[in-house]
């Protein structure tokens, strides 16, 4: 499909720079096949049925944005690396800027060049093992928990470009850009639909007769990349690692066998569930990479209802919700949301998509 079919105009003032407080006070547009309803996140239990299973992503965001420098003799170049996919205990794939300043085999020292030029014991540095069009494979001098500790000590929370371009990261983001369910470390972007949940909301969901299950998709920075191709068939998705445990798969399949609905909280939960689903619709245990790309025409196997934030024009995520509820329906929903002054993107409001 033509990518320009997924374009729309969004006024800059509709982009949220901070989350709603409390989190469940954010607004929620309920998109049914024939109607829209303006509600709030705290109203979610009223739209659930007894037996519904909400599936959340328990990925934990790491401070994946690292700043350092490369030195060639007396020449020093500052380098920004945004980690987006861990390959093993000491290797990460990263988007690097400016990539033209780096060569394969060179070292990036993640420190201020004013603090000294040597790679001192305990300092964090990485060698460029591979490089291709702004992306590099970094081989770090530390591994395992020692590397994790260094990243948490030196890294910055990787706010989406549409927020980072308008204000600086601060201490609040370390809390705000993490969901209530965050457990599995390694994501470099938040599963943003989960940001709306509070302990009180989870308790109310239980009282409504619904349950919550956890899956993992370690969201990569590729989620922020624009679709540069003119046709969706020419777009390449970055892979992300995820898992659905055998125990969770069994409970989800049992719920579906009873005729209950699977409610994906966020596109990341949906993508890992659909990656794990067999053609029959059975959800299989899954552990590995997925680069699933969902566009209109896709036949959903595992998910009945989707709760998600409002997404960027021409993005793979707007393509996904258009596949779920229909392109014209979602264009109308977004037009309604813009007119009604909903807040967009990672820190913004949400919509609840009910299919036929």
Confidence of residue 139 (pLDDT cuts 50, 70, 90): very high
Task: Quickly name the fold that domain 65-155 has.
Answer: Thrombin, subunit H (2.40.10)
* Per-residue confidence (pLDDT) for residue 112, from 0 to 100: 65
Instruction: Indicate if 65-155 has the same CATH topology as 3-61+174-354.
Output: no
| E strand spans, 133-221 | 135-140, 184-187, 211-217
pTM, full prediction? 0.90
Average the pLDDT over each of 2-6, 17-21, 211-215, 218-222 and give the range with the smallest value. 218-222
Q: Two tokens at 214?
A: 């956890």
Would you tell me which CATH number, out of the four given (3.90.79.10, 3.50.30.50, 3.40.1780.10, 3.40.50.720), belongs to the domain 3-61+174-354? 3.40.1780.10
Which residue is listed with tokens 């299989």? 284
pLDDT of residue 113: 62
Lowest mean pLDDT among 13-17, 54-58, 252-256: 13-17
The alpha carbon torsion through 239, 316, 56, 156 (nearest 10 deg) reads 70
pLDDT digit string, tens, across residues 260-273: 999 999 999 999 99
pLDDT of the residue at 224:
64
- Burial string for 115-124 (b: 16+ CB within 10 Å, else e) reads eeeeeeeebb
Contact 173, 246 (CB under 8 A): no
The pLDDT tens digits for 54-90 are 999 999 999 999 999 999 988 999 999 999 889 999 9
Nearest-10 crossing angle of helices 267-276, 316-325: 70
Q: State yes or no: pLDDT of 114 exceeds 80.
A: no
Poorest-pLDDT segment among 82-86, 215-219, 296-300: 82-86
**Mean of the per-residue pLDDT values for the chain?**
92
Residue 119's pLDDT is what?
45
- Mean per-residue pLDDT, 224-251: 90
For the chain, which residues make up each domain, given as ranges? 3-61+174-354, 65-155
Dump pLDDT digits (tens) for 324-333.
Answer: 999 999 999 9
Higher-pLDDT residue of 288 and 221 is 288
Q: Give the whole-angstrom CA distance, residue 124 versus residue 276.
A: 37
Radius of gyration of the chain (CA): 21
- What confidence tens digit (pLDDT) does each residue in 173-189 have? 888 999 999 999 999 88
Report which of 277, 283, 281, 211 is spatially closest to residue 252, judged by C-alpha positions.
283
For residue 90, give the nearest of 119, 129, 116 by alpha carbon.
Answer: 129
111 by DSSP, 3-state: which?
coil
Are the C-beta atoms of residues 16 and 347 closer than 8 Å to each other?
yes
Predicted pLDDT at 168: 81
Q: What average pLDDT does range 284-301 have in this prediction?
A: 96
Which positions ≥6 away from 126 have C-beta within 8 Å?
Answer: 81, 92, 107, 108, 110, 138, 139, 140, 141
């Amino acid at each position: 499909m033509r990518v320009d079919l997924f374009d729309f105009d969004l006024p800059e003032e509709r982009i949220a720079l901070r989350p709603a407080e409390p989190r469940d006070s954010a607004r929620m547009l309920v998109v049914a096949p024939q109607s829209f309803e303006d509600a709030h996140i705290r109203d979610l239990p009223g739209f659930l049925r007894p037996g519904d299973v909400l599936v959340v992503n328990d990925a934990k965001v790491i401070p994946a944005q690292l700043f350092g420098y490369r030195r060639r003799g007396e020449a020093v170049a500052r380098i920004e690396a945004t980690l987006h996919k861990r390959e093993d205990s000491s290797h990460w794939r990263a988007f690097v800027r400016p990539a033209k300043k780096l060569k394969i085999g060179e070292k990036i020292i993640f420190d201020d060049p004013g603090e000294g030029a040597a790679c001192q014991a305990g300092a964090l540095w990485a060698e460029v093992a591979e490089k291709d069009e702004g992306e590099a494979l970094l081989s770090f001098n530390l591994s395992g928990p020692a590397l994790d500790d260094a990243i948490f000590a030196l890294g910055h929370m990787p706010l989406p470009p549409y927020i980072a371009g308008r204000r600086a990261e601060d201490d609040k983001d370390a809390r705000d850009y993490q969901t209530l369910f965050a457990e599995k470390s390694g994501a470099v972007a938040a599963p943003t639909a989960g940001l709306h949940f509070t302990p009180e909301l989870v308790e109310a969901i239980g009282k409504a007769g619904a349950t919550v299950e956890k899956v993992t998709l370690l969201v990569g920075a590729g989620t922020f990349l624009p679709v540069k191709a003119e046709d969706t068939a020419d777009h390449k998705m970055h892979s992300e690692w995820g898992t659905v445990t055998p125990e969770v798969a069994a409970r989800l399949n049992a719920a579906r066998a009873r005729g209950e609905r699977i409610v994906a909280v966020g596109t990341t939960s949906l993508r890992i569930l659909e990656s794990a689903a067999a053609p029959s619709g059975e959800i299989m245990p899954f552990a590995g990479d997925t680069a699933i790309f969902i566009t209109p025409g896709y036949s959903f196997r595992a998910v009945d209802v989707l709760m998600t934030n409002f997404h960027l024009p021409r993005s793979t995520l707007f393509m996904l919700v258009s596949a779920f509820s229909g392109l014209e329906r979602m264009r109308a929903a977004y037009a309604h949301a813009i007119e009604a002054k909903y807040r967009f993107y990672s820190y913004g409001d949400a919509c609840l998509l009910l299919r036929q």
